[in-house]
Structure 1
Amino acid sequence: MKKLLALLAFVSLALAQSKEMRLFIWSEYIDPAIISAFEKQYGLKVRIELYESNEDMLAKLQAGGVSQYDVIVPGDYIIPTLVALKLVQPLDKSKLPNLKNLDPKFANPPFDPGNQYSAAYQWGMSGIMYRKDRVKTPPDSWAVIFDPKQSGSYVLMDSIREMMGAALRYLGYSINTRDPKQVQAAGKLLLEAKKSKRAVGFEGGVGAKNRLVAGSATYAVVYNGDAIKAASENPNVAFVVPKEGAALFLDNMAIPAKAPNPDAAHKFINFILDGKIGAQLSNYNRYATPNKAALPFINKADLKNPAIYPTESVKAKLEFVLDLGKDARLYDEVWTQVKSR
């Protein structure tokens, strides 16, 4: 009898999982209407859980999430780590006919050659969001964060590579430097910024944007899409890429190694890669699309907005955040010191 009950429980769980798709994603990063359309088309229920940084997502996967979620949305630099730790599974491209819609420059990324484990989701950049009603002239440099002679309160981004990258670029170094002295110098600068009386604190995800909109700071280090969405709702905020440069990111979709419903995961990824759905995603998120088939359906004003689709001169100042392998420990050690002191 016990064996029969156990079998029935297992069958019930399997049936429930086959009708469900579990998405682990950043806050405010997908149009709810897209989720509803996917559920209606495939008869699946989507359960969503949120995270605020790549590091939080990685920790959750290592703590058992690898068998709890079907789709995750990792940043570029974390994917080699996910692959090395065997936390993601290869994509079955026979189930992803819309993969062909990706712009060629996003179809063979250096962090995942041939898109073996991931498919591009959105791309964008970090920079400075500011209150137009509190500054006389728009900021053009990371100096508003790192120069102690400047005025105005600020919120720092709780993301190691973007925030360290800002400090490195301000010092004239590459976001991906492997030089210990340069990394340590950036850490020292960041620690001084954290301890400043102007500092409001660290915020992950959309937290910095929300605090600036609420009026608790004059500047915030944010992702451009968060700032653009806020600016459309509040005329007192704007976004700028500092003249020293900033981090360029490409977020992606991947499937955890022990996903409960990998078939549903492939359906979801292929759904997002549809041209019209891809445009709907970017029109909602206000981030740039890596989907070439989506471009004809993107809001014309967004296509012309340099804060979403930057000019070539701005692009030249942006750097992809790369996986640094064993040298990533340099950043981890410095970041730990910054956050703990």
Structure 2
Amino acid sequence: MRRILALLVLGLAFAFGQKELRLFIWSEYIDPAILEAFTKQTGLKVRMDLYESNEEMIAKLQAGGVSQYDLIVPSDFYVPSLIRLALVQPLNHALIPNLKNLSEKFRNPPFDPGNRYSAAYQWGTTGLIYRKDRVGVPKTWGAIFKEPKAPFILMDSPREMLGIALKYLGYSVNTLDPKQVQQAGQVLLTAKRSRYFLGFEGGVGGKNRVVAGAATYAVVYNGDAVRAADENPTKVAFAIPQEGATLWVDSMMIPAKAPNPEGAHRFINFILDPKVGAQLSNYNRYATPNQAALPYIRPEDRKNPAIYPPQELLGRLEFILDLGKNNRIYDEVWTAVKSR
């Protein structure tokens, strides 16, 4: 009965309230056809603004975006900070019946127990996109960290880039040892001083420069690389070096002062529909957290280890955790890396 009443209230809100949904999301991260289908079903036009890093997204929220946007899609390790900073509001589960479609491991994530504030959107890994027409498969992160011999780009994301350097050194991406984090920072500083270093890029920037031929390697998210490899099969490929890398989950959240929270709930529920969830992953080439969507995922993608890593590879991958007050260790080292 509670769910029926909630959905009735939601329907009345749409009838007399907002006719627009403001989405703040990573670039190249949703099939435009999904937005069109949502508008057709709900009458809500989706206005979309883009960001290239979690830091950029949070800065915009703190500068007034918290009352301008209805939905954001942050990475897992930023979810606790968004909650602590009161930048997001709790979800009304009665308005998201499709929440039940999430795989078990995404229903009660450690960064948001009980999905009180978030619902998983996509998950994936980091790795190297590279020009296969110029170099062989990069078996180690040493391809860019130890005497690089070709132009490369680093990811403009502190925890992910430091995490990769930590994996290269044999440490955990969530180490609390300041000396280990400083060693990782030194790895990145050494890479920066290489004549082959072309800079830091967020979002799809590194992928685009490799595809264009300006760089040979770039640290990127796997889905971006998989799509690029499909479009340029003789030129580019994706690999996760032997030391391992980071895992991530992006989740849907509603800003604390969203102008249309009812529409945001409806959008979350729409994305969690099995066929829509599959359409999203088939477009993005990232793994779906939606168990009910798996039967609709392309068979070739289900078998692609770059999208759904095998158990052996998963053992070398780590989720980045929010470290609370210990995040400052990483922030300080990253600031030093970027400023020198």
The two structures have a TM-score, normalised by structure 1, of 0.94
From 216, 219, 222, the equivalent of 2:220 is 222
What is the CA distance between 1:274 and its match in structure 2?
A: 0.2
Q: Could you say what secondary structure the match of 1:202 adopts? A: strand
Counterpart of 1:178 in structure 2 is 176
What is the CA distance between 1:17 and its match in structure 2?
A: 6.8
In the comparison of the two structures, how many residue pairs are matched?
326
Q: Could you say what secondary structure the match of 1:39 adopts? A: helix
Counterpart of 1:6 in structure 2 is none
What is the CA distance between 1:194 and its match in structure 2?
A: 1.2
Counterpart of 1:191 in structure 2 is 189
Supply the RMSD in Å over aligned alpha carbons: 1.2
Residues 166-200 of structure 1: per-residue CA shift (max 9 Å, x gap): 11110111001111000111111101111210111
After the TM superposition, which residues 105-254 of structure 1 pair with which residues of structure 2 at under 5 Å, given as runs?
105-135=105-135, 137-148=136-147, 150-235=148-233, 236-254=235-253
Q: Could you say what secondary structure the match of 2:46 adopts? A: strand
Residues 58-98 of structure 1: per-residue CA shift (max 9 Å, x gap): 11111111100000001000000000011100000000000
Q: Is the 8 A contact 1:17 1:260 kept in 2?
A: no
**Distance in 2 of aligned mates of 1:324 and 1:157:** 21
What is the CA distance between 1:49 and its match in structure 2?
A: 0.3
Structure 1, unmatched stretches of 5+, are 1-13
**Do structure 1's residue 67 and structure 2's residue 73 form an aligned pair?**
no
Residues 2-42 of structure 1: per-residue CA shift (max 9 Å, x gap): xxxxxxxxxxxx99970010000000000000000000100
**Do structure 1's residue 27 and structure 2's residue 27 form an aligned pair?**
yes
The list of structure 1 runs, each at least 4 consecutive aligned residues, that deviate by more than 4 angstroms after superposition, is 14-17
What is the CA distance between 1:140 and its match in structure 2?
A: 1.0
What is the CA distance between 1:271 and its match in structure 2?
A: 0.1
Letter paired with 2:173: I
**Distance in 1 of aligned mates of 2:198 and 2:16:** 45
The two structures have a TM-score, normalised by structure 2, of 0.94
Counterpart of 1:86 in structure 2 is 86
Q: Is the 8 A contact 1:154 1:217 kept in 2?
A: yes
Structure 2, unmatched stretches of 5+, are 1-13
Letter paired with 1:283: N
What is the CA distance between 1:243 and its match in structure 2?
A: 0.7
Letter paired with 1:324: L
**Distance in 2 of aligned mates of 1:145 and 1:330:** 24
Residues 137-189 of structure 1: per-residue CA shift (max 9 Å, x gap): 211110011102x3111011111111111111101110011110001111111
**Distance in 2 of aligned mates of 1:121 and 1:17:** 26
